[in-house]
Chain A
């Protein structure tokens, strides 16, 4: 009735992460290890690896396999308009500012699925702000970038997406933004005109540009506390004063000195304004 699960220890995990860092230049050692451990175990199970050395060997030797590994261990957002209350607050608190500008920039860092991207695009289109916007989405994973560029969502996942959407746009129709194609729906291509998707290692590659809004929701939950602070310190340098950053609703923007640099403009929806 129950399959045997495969379990690895923290020392196994750390040795794998060390090899990846040395051979591939990507450092996962400061990720939240409890959930990462489970995703590595699931990956090993899926590809029938017996131990960590076997996996380590394969991903170091085989570039495509390493990309498969990255795709699996980097996590998706899971739904369009996750937390509809957040999107309503974001619109209320930031869009009037965007209206006054000739153009504005939005950054979605370290992203592995298109849901937050499609959600903000739908909202910008509905509010007639999309032509003024420029959006950059970055991801570590080539395969996730390809997936986001394809811009498709499985039809079976649309039920929850529609429920969320209708909490924001009671009389709206989500299919104004998608085309149905068999078992998937495809996000309309013309809505992606002002979007740039880049392969980027957030912690080691140079980042350029200043942004008016950064969507960083439910990303730092996969980092340990030290890495989260590093990420926030990088992001704040790329946020204009008066710009906004959004975290997940169960995250805190806290690091030494953060109260002098950010003001929580929505405590419940975790929207912060850079004040310094």
Chain B
């Protein structure tokens, strides 16, 4: 299966794992990576910079209608939901928060699932609410690959456990194994 897009969702306790994943991907890693992470709503600056410190791939907070390119990671901006349009560009929205979150993982995952179908890998990490569970179910329904971080390893298990109860998860992996899996993607 040739996967072409990766989406990662996380909340409380996921920052270090995301940083580790980004720092372990080689410069040559060319699949676009979408990051939908719960974040402080009114802090606009600093998150991209913090994630970028050790990352080999360029991380950006996309503008609305920004085209999606290889070799880049796209972080959902504060206080916006992030969608993926047919035509391969990003669409932002200021709709109501979902699961008390904007950006909401459910919205980004469901939109990526619909747009990228079986070309998508969705990875859900540590978090303290159930955001992402319905999104994961949608990824599964559209033929994408679902991965959750091993709940025993998560600082907060609610998010991954909710996803596991909402749908059948393809792989339950430790952070190390997630990295190994991504690095070895052909």
Contacts and interface: CB of A to CB of B under 8 A. Distances in A.
Interface stretch (A121-129, A185-193, A246-254): A246-254
B77 A250 contact: yes
Interface in A157-215: 160, 163-164
Contact of B44 (A5, A249, A251): A249
Interface string B108-133: 00110011000000000000000001
Given A32-B85, A34-B85, A39 B95 contact: yes
A63 B99 CA distance: 32
Contact of A2 (B41, B77, B85, B133): B133
Contacts of A249: 44
A163 B42 contact: yes
B110 A82 contact: no
Interface string B39-60: 0011010000000000000000
Report whether over half of chain B's contact residues are helix, strand or loop; otherwise say mixed: mixed
A5 B134 contact: yes
Contacts of A76: 94-96
A162 B183 CA distance: 46
Contacts of B14: none
Interface in B147-186: 162, 165-166
Given A34-B115, A249-B44, A10 B86 contact: yes
Contacts, number: 86
Contacts of B77: 250
A75 interface: yes
A1 B166 contact: yes
Interface in A197-255: 218, 220-222, 224-225, 228, 248-252
A35 B81 contact: yes
A39 B137 CA distance: 19
Given A35-B91, A35-B95, A163-B42, A251 B83 contact: no
A228 B65 contact: yes
Contact of B93 (A35, A85, A164, A252): A35
B64 A220 contact: yes
Interface residues on A, range: 35 or more
A78 B94 contact: yes
B84 interface: yes
Contacts of B89: 225
B64 A34 contact: no
B139 to A, nearest CB: 13
Most B CB atoms within 10 A — which of A2, A37, A164, A220? A2
29 contacts: A1-B165, A1-B166, A2-B137, A7-B138, A32-B91, A32-B93, A34-B84, A34-B86, A34-B91, A34-B111, A35-B81, A35-B83, A35-B93, A37-B114, A38-B111, A39-B95, A76-B96, A77-B94, A82-B79, A83-B79, A218-B94, A221-B65, A221-B92, A225-B89, A228-B65, A248-B64, A250-B62, A250-B64, A252-B65
Given A32-B83, A35-B95, A250-B64, 14 more contacts: A2-B165, A2-B166, A32-B93, A34-B91, A35-B81, A38-B111, A75-B95, A82-B79, A84-B42, A248-B92, A250-B61, A251-B64, A252-B63, A252-B64
